[in-house]
Structure 1
């Protein structure tokens, strides 16, 4: 089945400014918001091998 996601869609509330800044920051690191969020959740839950995603340089 084409375009069948491996995970269920979830909704969270994030302020527009933070959402836009997260996109810009993730893009500078050749990533995307979903990947960054999943990495943060895995780290928070202490999943084996999980590491905090790299933070973008301070501006």
Structure 2
């Protein structure tokens, strides 16, 4: 096994173009999409101590049309 092998197998879900905006938003919070999704799942499942992930301000990642 390589040292960079993930601890869990990859899962597939279908997401539209929001996936790219989600990436920008996650990066604006110095994290990755996968980490945010794991936090959300733990919160959704009511895991002890889990909290809903914080969201960035829209202006931190969103590019308004015409900029």
The TM-score normalised by the length of structure 2 is 0.79
Runs of 4+ in structure 1 over 3 Å off: none
Q: CA deviation at 1:37?
A: 0.6
Give the equivalent residue in structure 1 for 2:37. 37
More relative contact order, 1 or 2 (CA 8 Å, 6+ apart): 2
Q: CA deviation at 1:56?
A: 0.9
Query: Which secondary structure state, in structure 2, belongs to the residue aligned with residue 41 of structure 1?
Result: helix
- Residue segments in structure 2 that go unaligned for 5+ positions in a row: 60-67
Give the equivalent residue in structure 2 for 1:46. 46
- Residue segments in structure 1 that go unaligned for 5+ positions in a row: none
Higher Cα Rg, which structure: 2
The TM-score normalised by the length of structure 1 is 0.89
Q: How many residues align?
A: 58
Query: Which secondary structure state, in structure 2, belongs to the residue aligned with residue 34 of structure 1?
Result: helix
